[in-house]
Structure 1
Amino acid sequence: MNTAIPGPEDLYLFHEGNLHRSYKLLGAHVTQWDGTVGVRFAVWAPHASEVRVVGDFNEWDGTRHPMHKVSTWGVWSTFIAGVRPGEYYKYEILTPDGTLLYKADPYAFWSELKPGTASRVFDLGDFNWSDQAWQDRKQSASVYESPLNIYEVHLGTWKKKPDGAYYTYRELADELVPYVKDMGYTHLELMPLAEHPYDRSWGYQATGYYSVTSRFGTPHEFMYFVDCCHNAGLGVIMDWVPGHFVKDEHGLRQFDGRPLFEYNDPGLAEKPEWGTLTFDFSKREVVNFLISNALFWMDAYHIDGLRVDAVASLLYLNFGKPRDQWVKNAHGGDENPDAIEFLKKLNHTVFSYYPNALMMAEDSTAWPLVTAPVHEGGLGFNYKWNMGWMNDMLKYMETDSYFRGGSHRLLTFSFMYAFSENYVLPLSHDEVVHGKKSLLNKMPGDYWQKFANLRALYGYMMSHPGKKLLFMGGEFGQFDEWKDLEDLDWEMLAYDSHRSMHRYVRDLNHLYLREPALWELDHSPDGFAWIDPNDAAQSVTTFMRKSRKPEDALVIVTNFTPVYHAKYRIGVPFAGEYVEQFNSDAGEYGGSGKLNPGRLKTEALAWHGHPDSLHVALPPLATVIFKPIKIVNRKATNAKRGRGQTDA
């Protein structure tokens, strides 16, 4: 069979921007030509005078393997017999001015281990997936009405070996996957996996968009990791970076001697804040490259969704630029219409192939309808990080607890817009780096109060409408902020307070999984009701979370001061009996042990707009959750009493 030359239909669709799986056309593919096994190489380089393949197989002598232009718009291709998986290669590109460039393959499936920069041939086939049961469950579940609790991980620093070496994908499957499952999370979010040259970019400045980083092993070993996640009932979300790319010489920058993946205009191309370049979303081949890449991670690696990084930097031309570098679009505005259309096309395309995918926007702006469908005028994501909630909550929590009353609005304002988008509440890596301090160390007060404050925050977060995300280390109260070249301070678990925090987060996560009121109606006002948002004087909030069954309702009270209230009255939605379902002040969590044991009976005393109320013990710096176990129909009860009957 002859598969050495890309077909004209695929080439046409690629240049039109509609070849949704262009990674099957471009790159290095093990194949046959006239019965001979080898590799077909194809690359887009429209400005090049000549393109050659160099590698181990030809002693890096480009004259032995020139490529041939197979499309008017600059796709080059050749077939080289005998090349095997694992071999190193690059493209040798002769520019119009006679300069020779040596570029890694933009569509390479594997890369040389840093500090090397070559691409490597890899055949992605021959992996036996065993996650069909997971895929079937995913198809039948609603992402909106299911629990979603994400553990954000940087694979290079979650744990390291005693000699400082990385854990491999296989070793992480054995260590990380059971840990996350036991902790009660539903999904792992992995910080950028695409190949990147510099460790301290954390993967956000990539050179190999189709190449899972070789730091931790091979592509097949990463498939094994994802397969293990799915078999453990864990979804996998990848941090994905379509907004910008690194300037390293072997990467995408001026790929064929001129701007290609980036804008021609430096004013549009430069991202001065990060020292990177913006993709040119006006070029159909570039849009094709990125949308195909999103599908590639789902096709090849069974990734369940993407967290799209820095959406604000796509939406606005002048994001992060000093005022003297500002530019305007054709209408005189700040928006980037090409990028906006790209995001809409991205989401529309992904959902056409993967209706149950997670497409999450990390967006710090007030752009409307981020999670509305494209056909309704939205950007088409199905989730958005709630950066406003995060900023307000951390600002509030960092305030000395005795002065929080004056900042009470920071607690309650998020409910004004909580249902305007489908939100994820993030406490991510961005909040524990660059001198911001760890979550625990942000908390005011003495040693005990720091832990109590953090437990109260986590309880409030878990009760607040929206899905959840916590960065690694937050679950045991790491004192130091994230150290991006070292692993987490696991030795802290030898200390009671950190061990108790770890247990608390695990139990809180499992409570979340058990209680449908905390997720079933997350994106509907029907799933939430204030009981009392106004107790600023005592820095207390009381609200209700609801599911479709009234008996599954929860009443959540959070005390954000260290003052203990032995009898704090709250209005409740149902007459009857309640039990304390969860208390962050429990002794096993490191709290003071101020609990509400046994059954709590309501009184027919109107409070907080409800005809019935409870007296509860409200511990210092704590979140307490109550659940009805016996609901009394007061009208029916009064009717019985009118006939001379009494309650049993």
Structure 2
Amino acid sequence: MRRCLNGPLLCSETGSGYSCTGLDHAGELAATLISLDPWLKPYGPVLVRRLEMVSLALKLLARHGSLREAAGTHLVCGPRYEDGTWRIGEWAPNATAIYLIGTFSGWEERPEFAFTRQEGSDIWEIALPEEEMPHGTLFRLRIHWEGGSGDRIPSHAHRVVQDPDTLVFNAQAWRPEPYEWRHGVMTEEGTAPLIYEAHVGMAGEGGEVAGFDHFTDHVLPRIKGAGYNTIQLMGILEHPYYGSYGYHVTSYFAVSSRFGTPEAFMRLVDTAHGMGIRVIIDVVHSHSAGNEVEGLSRQDGTPHLYFHDGNRGRHEGWDSRCFDYGKEGVVRFLLSNCRYWLETYRLDGFRFDGVTSMLYHHRGMNRCFTTYDDYYGDEVDEEALVYLALANRLIHDIRPSAITVAEDVSGMPGLALPRELGGTGFDYRFAMGLPDLWTKLIKEVPDESWDLDTIWYELTNRRHREPAISYAESHDQALVGDQTHFFRMAGAAMYDHMGIEDTDPLIERAMALHKMIRLITFATASGGYLNFMGNEFGHPEWIDFPRHGNNWSGHYARRQWSLVDNSELKYPLLANFDREMTALITVGGLFGESPIRLLGMSRIKKWLAFERGAMVYIFNFHPTQSWVDHPVSVSPGDYSLHLSSDAHRFGGQGRIEEEQRFFSFPDAKGEHRIYTYLPARTAMVLKKQEKQEKKVIGHRS
């Protein structure tokens, strides 16, 4: 078995390279994928080659025993405590010497704290008794190489802290009393995710950096009460720049200490599980911060240990480093990162950030993907595609109930298909075109000119059998420089006219469209739905983290929960609607393979209706015109009003009578219709009754 991690992953020791036709039935899997999308037929040889690459990578990694065992670099590298002894390992092929420095050595090199290079390996290791490095001790590595040296944080450090005065980062020996888990891991499979995207640090209201304990005690109950079953946490992996949202990671195995201790994060996950809520985190394997002391850049003195050398190793748009997915050590490092978070913190999955940047040599920057050639040409980083397939296989092998979500704007075919169908293995992809659609309409097009054909196409345009997470807006729309949808529609009026009795027309328009946009996005979703923290109640203003440009103020890096708690304001009314909207998932007929049947649409009258499961959804986007006795073609049956966006409890005008019943009647052609009153800027959800009552009620309502 080759112990060196520095070689290419996709190169066997016998020199067979990619010549592995037929491995794991690559041809059959490619044929299955093509059967789902016949437009892929011309690219059959490319599909076979990529599937063979995955099979070969699995076989080569199997030299370590299994894929899970190959994903075990965190069991060799980084600080590990074993029977009164600290053992610290580091992958550093280019190093000539490594010393452990810290408070115990006066931050100086000492012979007794020198690492030893393991024979036949690129791993350096040191062992020292616990009394030399007790709990809480700060330390670093001082790595020497030909022509230089530098201080580094261990690549697999589990705890990294920042000095509040000097702002310097150090690793910290961490061995508290073990956390006692109260709840088991979430094992339920198949439940569609209703995702509450959240950021722990800005979950407080005071403008300071909030922590895990605050989130657990004060925000988790809100999420549970709002009806969401999955939390997607941003910025959990350690990152030096707070304003990066956690997307410039430096320590991949360390919980960000600015939010609290590892045990506090465990309590958050454990408490969420007790509420029946899954916890997934953003994992950033698409790039890494360029920091050298506290990051991975030039870890052993070379710029290409974890990353590509030269221009390919730098993401100019993000000012970061790009991983080399063709190197065995890098792939095992990233796979181990997935395993570590699943096993140590009992997470329920991951949202993979920046997948488009991973998949293409051009990083997807300023590119439009208009032809299948874009997915199967020379610009595709096939090594990255192999890594993503390996990561998904590992995650689902460890935790079959785990969910993985790909943030990809390109639409790469097969990305969210299981490996049994020839796919990469993600459970879901993000429907990233939807927030762009809504932002463009709200920002640039008067709503009397909204094109319902375009809206409907974007809402329902999806790859066959590849579930997507739909969302109207995420944190991206809330950042400074942009605006949340509600803030953009309401403008300055929200500062003075959100009183419960206020009838300001700008606010009424913003509230009406906010509800309609979210409902139609939710009801047409194929896999799940996402909302960013606070946007469900129309949180005002934007997000702006402390930075030089705002005099390091945290005023806008917060959530104003007091607004939704104030019954004198309209924010709770929007929250009420969101809560009843998410509750529609329990009614049935949403997400999954449930088909959507368009019942009617008018570009002139600005209305549309569709059927899904036992529910009929009717929207009137016209800003001024209400429609009386409006016919809607439906399946034969008896329908009751289940939800109205115009109800008083949602901040509407109450123009639709509650508890209405609608009976379908056939026309001369035998087509069944119901007749409804559709007020301007409203949406209704009707539920088909299991049995039609014998009592006859007039069909006009």
Structure 1-normalised TM-score? 0.86
Deviations along 1:465-491, one digit per CA (max 9) or x if unpaired, are 331101112111023122334212335
Is the alpha carbon distance of 1:15 and 1:565 closer, same or farther for their aligned partners in structure 2, counting shifts above 3 Å?
A: closer
Is the alpha carbon distance of 1:497 and 1:71 closer, same or farther for their aligned partners in structure 2, counting shifts above 3 Å?
A: farther
1:409 corresponds to which of 444, 454, 462: 454
Q: Which position in structure 1 is the counterpart of 2:685?
A: 625
1:458 corresponds to which of 495, 504, 518: 518
Structure 1 distance, partners of 2:234, 2:529, is 16
2:143 corresponds to which of 72, 76, 93: 93
Q: Which position in structure 1 is the counterpart of 2:589?
A: 517
Is the Cα contact below 8 Å between 2:196 and 2:230 reproduced in 1?
yes
1:107 corresponds to which of 134, 144, 156: 156
Is the alpha carbon distance of 1:124 and 1:561 closer, same or farther for their aligned partners in structure 2, counting shifts above 3 Å?
A: farther
Is the Cα contact below 8 Å between 1:396 and 1:411 reproduced in 2?
no
1:128-167 → structure 2 map (5 Å cutoff): 128-132=180-184, 135=185, 138-139=186-187, 141-143=188-190, 146-161=191-206, 164-167=207-210
The alpha carbon displacement at 1:320 in A equals 5.4
1:502 has 2:575 as partner: yes
Q: Which position in structure 2 is the counterpart of 1:615?
A: 675
Q: Which position in structure 1 is the counterpart of 2:656?
A: 595
Q: Which position in structure 2 is the counterpart of 1:550?
A: none
2:97 corresponds to which of 26, 35, 50: 50
Is the Cα contact below 8 Å between 1:560 and 1:621 reproduced in 2?
yes
Is the alpha carbon distance of 1:377 and 1:432 closer, same or farther for their aligned partners in structure 2, counting shifts above 3 Å?
A: same
2:403 corresponds to which of 348, 354, 358: 358
Greater shift in the superposed pair: 147-156 or 358-367: 147-156
Paired residue secondary structure (1:30) = strand
Greater shift in the superposed pair: 244-253 or 110-119: 110-119
Is the Cα contact below 8 Å between 1:600 and 1:614 reproduced in 2?
no
Q: Which position in structure 2 is the counterpart of 1:168?
A: 211
2:128 corresponds to which of 80, 85, 93: 80
Q: Any gaps of 5 or more consecutive residues in structure 1?
A: 1-9, 324-328, 547-552, 638-648
Structure 2 distance, partners of 1:160, 1:446, is 26
1:188-587 → structure 2 map (5 Å cutoff): 188-250=231-293, 251-319=295-363, 333-398=378-443, 399-404=445-450, 406=451, 408-417=453-462, 419-426=464-471, 427-443=473-489, 446-466=506-526, 467-484=528-545, 485=554, 486-493=557-564, 494=566, 496-509=569-582, 511-518=583-590, 522-524=591-593, 526-532=594-600, 534-546=601-613, 553-562=614-623, 563-575=625-637, 577-587=638-648
Deviations along 1:539-558, one digit per CA (max 9) or x if unpaired, are 21211111xxxxxx000011
Is the Cα contact below 8 Å between 1:17 and 1:287 reproduced in 2?
no
Structure 2 distance, partners of 1:416, 1:606, is 32
Structure 1 distance, partners of 2:605, 2:558, is 40
Is the Cα contact below 8 Å between 1:452 and 1:591 reproduced in 2?
yes
The alpha carbon displacement at 1:71 in A equals 4.3
Is the Cα contact below 8 Å between 2:272 and 2:278 reproduced in 1?
yes
Paired residue secondary structure (1:118) = strand
Is the alpha carbon distance of 1:397 and 1:618 closer, same or farther for their aligned partners in structure 2, counting shifts above 3 Å?
A: farther
Is the alpha carbon distance of 1:71 and 1:564 closer, same or farther for their aligned partners in structure 2, counting shifts above 3 Å?
A: farther
Structure 2-normalised TM-score? 0.80
Is the Cα contact below 8 Å between 2:360 and 2:381 reproduced in 1?
yes
The alpha carbon displacement at 1:375 in A equals 4.3
Is the Cα contact below 8 Å between 1:28 and 1:108 reproduced in 2?
yes
2:224 corresponds to which of 175, 181, 201: 181
The alpha carbon displacement at 1:125 in A equals 7.2
Structure 2 distance, partners of 1:322, 1:567, is 48
Q: 1:21 is aligned with what amino acid? A: G
Is the alpha carbon distance of 1:316 and 1:434 closer, same or farther for their aligned partners in structure 2, counting shifts above 3 Å?
A: farther
The alpha carbon displacement at 1:258 in A equals 0.3
Structure 2 distance, partners of 1:332, 1:621, is 46
The alpha carbon displacement at 1:626 in A equals 0.3
Is the Cα contact below 8 Å between 2:135 and 2:176 reproduced in 1?
no
The alpha carbon displacement at 1:452 in A equals 0.7
Is the Cα contact below 8 Å between 1:17 and 1:285 reproduced in 2?
no
Aligned residue-pair number: 591
Is the Cα contact below 8 Å between 1:306 and 1:359 reproduced in 2?
yes
Greater shift in the superposed pair: 416-425 or 448-457: 416-425
2:117 corresponds to which of 52, 69, 78: 69
Structure 1 distance, partners of 2:636, 2:691, is 6
Structure 1 distance, partners of 2:249, 2:304, is 16
Structure 1 distance, partners of 2:82, 2:223, is 39
The alpha carbon displacement at 1:241 in A equals 0.3
1:115-134 → structure 2 map (5 Å cutoff): 115-123=167-175, 126-132=178-184
Paired residue secondary structure (2:589) = helix
Q: Any gaps of 5 or more consecutive residues in structure 2?
A: 1-60, 368-373, 491-504, 546-553, 697-701
The alpha carbon displacement at 1:17 in A equals 10
Greater shift in the superposed pair: 436-445 or 57-66: 436-445
Q: 1:428 is aligned with what amino acid? A: S
Greater shift in the superposed pair: 122-131 or 282-291: 122-131
Structure 2 distance, partners of 1:247, 1:227, is 33
Is the alpha carbon distance of 1:307 and 1:220 closer, same or farther for their aligned partners in structure 2, counting shifts above 3 Å?
A: same
Q: Which position in structure 2 is the counterpart of 1:644?
A: none
Q: Which position in structure 2 is the counterpart of 1:549?
A: none
Q: Which position in structure 1 is the counterpart of 2:43?
A: none
Paired residue secondary structure (1:446) = helix
Among the aligned pairs, what percent are the same residue?
A: 23
The alpha carbon displacement at 1:91 in A equals 0.7
Q: 1:492 is aligned with what amino acid? A: L
The alpha carbon displacement at 1:429 in A equals 0.5
- Provide the alpha-carbon RMSD of the alignment: 2.6
Is the Cα contact below 8 Å between 2:192 and 2:592 reproduced in 1?
no
Paired residue secondary structure (2:202) = helix
Is the Cα contact below 8 Å between 1:67 and 1:78 reproduced in 2?
yes
Q: 2:125 is aligned with what amino acid? A: S
Deviations along 1:47-88, one digit per CA (max 9) or x if unpaired, are 011011111222222223000001434100010112222211
Paired residue secondary structure (1:49) = strand
Is the Cα contact below 8 Å between 1:271 and 1:320 reproduced in 2?
no
